[in-house]
Amino acid sequence: MCVVTDEHPGIDLSRPNAARIYDYMLGGSHNFAVDRAAGEAMLARFPDAALAGHANRAFLGRAVELCCELGISQFLDLGSGIPTAGNVHDIARRHLPDARVAYVDIEPVAVAHSRAVLADQVGVTITRADLRDPDQVLSADGVRGLLDFEAPVAVLAVAALHYVAPDDDLPAVVGRYREVMAPGSALVISHGSDDVADPAAAAHMRELAEVMATSATPAYLRSRARLHEALAGFDLVDPGLVDIRRWRTHSELPDTAVYGAVGLVSARRRR
């Protein structure tokens, strides 16, 4: 149970939010009663919701490893969440010890806990910013001062873009990040959807979105076609946009109804 309250006046304890519900689902301790109640409501409707969260973390790990194999040593992690096992800098530095990571999240508990965990890390920053405002993110000291956008950067938006409302024009938001990404850069996304082959998985994802609708951070599902629109201009690595449980791994477990993809910026497609 998280006991930070007065020290972090920006925290809204009246409603659950994505970072803290996700922390609860992953077995973390930086969440409040409202978040645990929302997590339990999700588990009541979709008992495998926590497993889907772990599948998302596993996807993130595989995607970061691929970026390292491609020689990318800089990471901008949008909607990075509350630190947990397998953080991006831990994974990346196993492969590339000098990897630099700029974490960005909007949620005060995620930012405060990240700051505490990262205090002794050189080459890793945490910035509180809104990923829907790319210029705010890209001009922040923790991002601009750490990452060199003349060289390849991996921009991660893992389980984060479904908090961008339909009115917020997701392709334009992603497009603004793409404009500053040098050739050889990569975009990593995962995103909930009910446009999937398995009707049970689709129904479970709609259940999760219904619970999130009562939170401070509603989640919006997108069709596969809408996600492809957001990925326009990126060359998707194999196997393309697929369920995270099918992305460069084999699992006997059912689909999660969370799509994942990694897209590369090629020289001719940068803008």
Q: Which of 31, 217 has the CB closer to ligand SAM?
A: 217
Nearest approach in angstroms of CB 239 to ligand SAM is: 19
Of 160, 181, 188, 196, the one binding ligand SAM by CB under 6 A: 160
Nearest in space to 217 (alpha carbons), one of 133, 141, 160: 160
256 counts as binding ligand SAM under rule CB under 6 A: no
* Strand-pair partners of 190: 158, 260
Which segment (15-23, 43-51, 226-234, 259-267) binds ligand SAM by CB under 6 A? 15-23
Part of the chain binding ligand SAM (CB under 6 A), chosen from 90-98, 103-111, 180-188, 205-213: 103-111
Q: Is 22 in the site for ligand SAM (CB under 6 A)?
A: yes
CB of 14 to ligand SAM, least distance (A): 16
Stretch that binds ligand SAM, among 42-50, 95-103, 106-114, 118-126 (CB under 6 A): 106-114
Q: Which is nearer to ligand SAM, 175 or 270 (CB)?
A: 175
Output the DSSP codes for the chain: -----TT-TT---SS--HHHHHHHHTT-S---HHHHHHHHHHHHH-TTHHHHHHHHHHHHHHHHHHHHHTT--EEEEET--S--SS-HHHHHHHH-TT-EEEEEES-HHHHHHHHHHHTT-TTEEEEE--TT-HHHHHHSHHHHTT--TTS--EEEEETTGGGS-GGG-HHHHHHHHHHHPPTT-EEEEEEE-S-SS-HHHHHHHHHHHHHHTTSSS------HHHHHHHTTT-EEPTT-SEEGGGSSS--SSPP-SEEEEEEE--GGG--
In whole angstroms, the minimum distance from the beta carbon of 266 to ligand SAM comes to: 25
Among 11, 19, 76, 124, binds ligand SAM (CB under 6 A): 19
Residue 73 or 215: the one with the smaller Cβ distance to ligand SAM is 215
Interacting positions 42-61 with ligand SAM (CB under 6 A): 56-57, 60
Kindly identify the residues of this chain, within the stretch 215-254, that bind ligand SAM according to CB under 6 A: 217
Cα angle value 33/31/53 (rounded, 5°):
115
Q: Which of 106/181 has CB closer to ligand SAM?
A: 106
Query: Residue 262 forms beta bridges with which residues?
Result: 188
Residue 127 Cβ, how far from ligand SAM at the closest point, in Å? 10
Residues near ligand SAM (CB under 6 A) are 18-19, 22, 56-57, 60, 79-81, 104-107, 110, 130-132, 158-160, 163, 217
